[in-house]
Structure 1
Amino acid sequence: MPINSKNIALIAGPAVATACLILVDIPGHPTAPAMLAVALWMAIWWITECVPLGVTALLPLVAFPLLGIATGSETAPRYFNSIIFLFIGGFLIAQAMENSGLHKRIALNMLSRLHASPLQLAMGFAAATAFLSMWISNTATAMLMVTIALPLLKKLLEEHDAEEVGPMAATFLLIIAYSANIGGMGTPVGSPPNLVFLENMRVSLPDSVPSFLEWMMIGIPMVLVGLLVLFVVLGPQLAKLPWNRSDGSQLKQALQALGKARREEKFVAWVLTITALLWITRSGIRSEGLDIPGWSSLLPYKGVDDGTVAIFMASLLFLLRGEDGRPLLGRESFPKLPWDIVLLFGGGFALAHGMQQSGLSFWIGGQLEFLRSVPLPLMMLAVAVVIIFLTEITSNTATTQVMLPILAAVSLANGLDAMSVMLVATIGASCAFMLPVATPPNAIVFGSGMVPMHAMVKAGIRLNLIMIIVVTTLIYLLRPLLPAI
């Protein structure tokens, strides 16, 4: 076996876990050393991705029963809970949008109205990308928008000096990638770390889990400010891009080529709209001095959640039929689900359960008692710095799966506002702008061959540093809109 970082990590994971089992003793919590061993093993394998993420996620199903942390029947349900079904339902609706071409029509409708200048067109791309990323995969959104942008940019490169236009074309593509990352902050279904946050809140603070609308009261301002920062940093670089109003005419031509909206597009648009409204209005708003009930309070039985809504509305897509008589979604939709991410979610939720069950989370919180004297804004700032730069080299979903249970325990044990600290970590996980490996949208624009590594690093590090302040400040200021703990 050749010696490289992944092979070293492959051995280091179980080796560190074994050493932990032998050497570590935590008084009062007999299974906590075993839980620490499993957590370190999973963290090493997740961060290095020496095996598929889903394989690491399955470790608790074997380790917990063998080490006495939790039984198999207690651990298995963590892999398929309501948050998982919210993700599956949302992904099925997103798949229907892509199958019908609705996402392309939405994008072209927005872009065809904004092409008078390079800056205006870039703003159109950013707005369309961010909006779509709130509802469908950031990867699919970035791929669609780059596909639309590349012909425009290649035309400019052919007609003008490539050395002069190239850096500005790279900036244009970076704006698309970064807008996809920023847009994912807007809704709970916009990015996997958001769902990880909701499940960890349900485990740690079940009475204070934000509703869909309450999340958006934080997420939408974050998206708007994030896009503003993006254009303050990168917008001026587009001023020199040579441009005629006619350069954007092919956007209108592409929209006209789509023709009138087909039946399947209309059905998917209605399903998406109704789903969003049901999500937003289900729980109402609960904050200091304000309590507006949602529609779920009118039901005779309590228990309907966002996962219920997602699956119900996604199921309609298997019943509704398009102009060709075929259902909007068929049996081929289930193999297309990202089961590796589903397993990754489940493994993280099992990890959080094991840390609570074993008492490890409470012990970690006690060891960091000195943080009790740290002001909350300073704690939030430190978390933002660590998470934003850590996710440049690791999966943001895996990072939040490992970090959020620890941050929850530390915050609760030391009297800090756990929701604020966990929110900073969650939103910060979407702020990976420096490297192609940080997020799929970054990789997609880098793969176009028009974005040099140095351009991404230079733009990304500036955005990282600014977003550390933005994320910390906005969450601190908007926190009163969310349920009190």
Structure 2
Amino acid sequence: MFDSDSRYAALKWYRKLRLGWIFNTSTFIGNFVIALVVTYFFDGLGYGEAVNYVFFLSMLSIGLWVTEAIPPFAVGIFIIATLLLGFGTDYIIEESSPVDLYVGTWTSNVIWLLLGGFFLAEGMRVVELDRSLFRFTIRRFGSKPEQLLLGLMLTTGVASMVMSNTATTAMMISSIIPLVHLMGKKSPYSIALLTGIPAAASVGGIGTIIGSTPNAIAVGALAEKGINLTFMDWMIFGFPVGIFLVLAFWKFLVSRNHIKGLEIDLSKLPKSTDKVDPFKRKAVIFTLIVTILMWLTEPVHGIPVAATSAVPIVLLTMTQVIMADQVRTLPWDTLMLVAGGLALGIALVEVGLADIVMNEVNSLPIPTFGIAIVFSLVAVLLSNVMSNTAAASILVPLGLALPAPYSVAVPLIVAISCSCSLLLPVSTPSNAISYATGLIEQKQFRPGGLMLILLGPATAMVAVMLWSLVFV
């Protein structure tokens, strides 16, 4: 499929000539110039050089995230380095200021929480607990097409609450490929599978702090303001929202694709041939149970979730479930991106740029509730064309400047809305994995993507506002 696409073929030829660096360099310079021009006009407002500097960096970062002139994780590194240059020296801003806040994002609770989640996900993959989840789904939900689709989506959604959404999608997509080949790529059921699984992985991740990177960014930003959300605090509203959106998307697919009455043959599905060490499997199960229980019971024992994240790191390496080579393959680039995003958010708040923007927003002739709606829609729309982590990094600090209780609710609404971007193959890595199979067309993502653009933010608004009224 891809080789027949002239644009893809041209891109391959372009890369073979090793001229890709010319495009990336020119794009970087273009973004730099645009950011400079926009900042030149912003400077006329007279907010001072520190505000202007952070504004320039924000504009440049947004451009780099959208155009991907450099990888998203490299933007994160660039943000921290540029903040250190601007505020830690007198080369750009005349008076230097402490920069520990920006460097400290590397050791924030969010980073350790995500790292613990990465180790758990890798451990589950090594001992094939992921495949066991798939086989359990088959046994539990049977072969009726609508029930099997529900089972696969629920399994994907729940698994993505403790595993990377990308890894969960890759695991489930690889398991159903033989069935898709059997049914044919034009079959309504194949379309339902290849759109339903990535959607379930994305919205299922809403259920826990570690389920989606925007969740962790929102929690980290609130923690900087002295508002600490426990693992269980998030699940009170996040878990119901995640499950509801999975069920709503399943119902949408069943209705739209008319899959009732179809017959499917499960005998072609792959079976595991590798033998798994029983000791290692038990070690992963034990580690998984202990870690999740400690995360859920943080209010009881008082051990921070970041400290609990050391449990899977220590136990899974001590029992040799995860070896040094596997540690090197973990998504360290995600941590770099998150650290940079958190640093940019801190800078927006520290220099007062977030307050400036929100003062202008608050002066608009709409109520604060309307502003919260705008934030949620902007979040889901931005996340469809750029990294949801980047979108959350930009919008969450701005939401913190709203009056209470919106200063707590809006960052959470933004995080959830960022996980509902499923309009395009590039909107989320989960969609990209499904699209890369060559068995689904880009236009087939649109109906479900449009549905979630509306339903996702609306559900987030209702759930988070109710939670904030009761618990905040």
Q: Does the pair score TM above 0.5? A: yes
1:347 matched to 2:340: yes
Normalised to the residue count of structure 1, the TM-score between the two structures is 0.85
Greater relative contact order: 1 or 2 (C-alpha under 8 angstroms, separation 6 or more)? 1
Matched letter for residue 407 of structure 1 = G
Q: Which residue, out of 47, 53, 56, partners 1:34?
A: 53
Partner of 2:433: 444
- Cα RMSD over matched residues? 2.6
Post-superposition offset of 1:477: 2.6
Tell me which residue corresponds to 1:305: 304
Q: Does 1:381 align with 2:373?
A: yes
Q: Which runs of 4+ in 1 moved over 6 A?
A: 1-5, 257-261
Q: 2:233 aligned with 1:234, yes or no?
A: no
> Structure 2 length as normaliser, TM-score?
0.87
CA shift in 2, pair 1:47/1:260, >3 Å: closer
Deviations 1:175-216 (A, max 9, x none): 11111111110100001111111111112x31x221100100
Q: Name which of structure 1's ranges 6-15 and 215-224 shifts more when overlaid on structure 2.
A: 6-15
What secondary structure is seen at the aligned counterpart in 2 of 1:472? helix
Aligned to 2:463: 474
Alignment of 1:338 with 2:322, yes or no, is no
Q: CA deviation at 1:312?
A: 2.9
Range with bigger deviation, 8-17 or 348-357:
8-17
SS of residue in 2 equivalent to 1:433:
coil
Distance in 2, matches of 1:215 and 1:75, equals 25
CA contact (8 A) 1:197 1:426 kept: yes
Query: C-alpha displacement at 1:28, in angstroms?
Result: 6.4
Q: Is the 8 A contact 2:188 2:258 kept in 1?
A: no
CA contact (8 A) 1:168 1:241 kept: no
Partners in 2 of 1:368 and 1:5 — Cα distance? 36
Equivalent in the alignment of 1:279: 295
Q: Which consecutive unaligned segments of at least 5 residues does structure 1 have?
A: 284-293, 297-303, 321-326
CA distance in 1, matches of 2:306, 2:85: 32
Shift of 1:308: 0.7
Deviation at 1:397, TM superposition (A): 0.5
Q: How does 1:87-236 map to 2 (within 5 A)?
A: 87-157=114-184, 166-203=187-224, 205-206=225-226, 208-236=227-255
Say yes or no: does 1:394 pair with 2:386. Answer: yes
Partner of 1:287: none
Q: Is the 8 A contact 1:134 1:187 kept in 2?
A: yes
**Distance in structure 2 (CA, Å) of the matches to 1:329 and 1:155:** 35
User: 2:82: which partner in 1?
Assistant: 63
1:315 corresponds in structure 2 to 314
- Counterpart Cα distance in 2 of 1:241 and 1:7: 54
State the distance in 1 between where 2:258 and 2:148 align: 10
Distance change (3 Å), C-alpha of 1:439 and 1:319: same
**Identity percentage of aligned residues:** 23
- 1:403-422 deviation per Cα after TM superposition (whole angstroms, max 9, x unaligned): 1112222x14xx55112111
1:141-172: per-residue Cα shift (whole Å, max 9, x none)? 11111111121232233xxxx75xx2331122
Give the paired residue count. 444
Gap regions ≥5 residues in structure 2: 1-18, 88-95
Q: 8 Å contact 1:179–1:227 — kept in the other structure?
A: yes
1:78 equivalent to 2:95? Answer no
**Alpha-carbon distance in structure 2 between the residues aligned to 1:393 and 1:20:** 21
Structure-1 separation of matches of 2:277 and 2:331? 29
Distance 1:55 1:480 in 2: 39
Q: Distance in 2 between matches of 1:54 and 1:186?
A: 25
In the alignment, what sits opposite 1:299?
Answer: none
The Cα shift of 1:65 comes to: 3.8
Maintained 8 Å contact 2:54/2:348 = yes
Q: For 2:206, what is the secondary structure of its paired residue?
A: coil
- Residue 231 of structure 1, CA deviation: 2.1
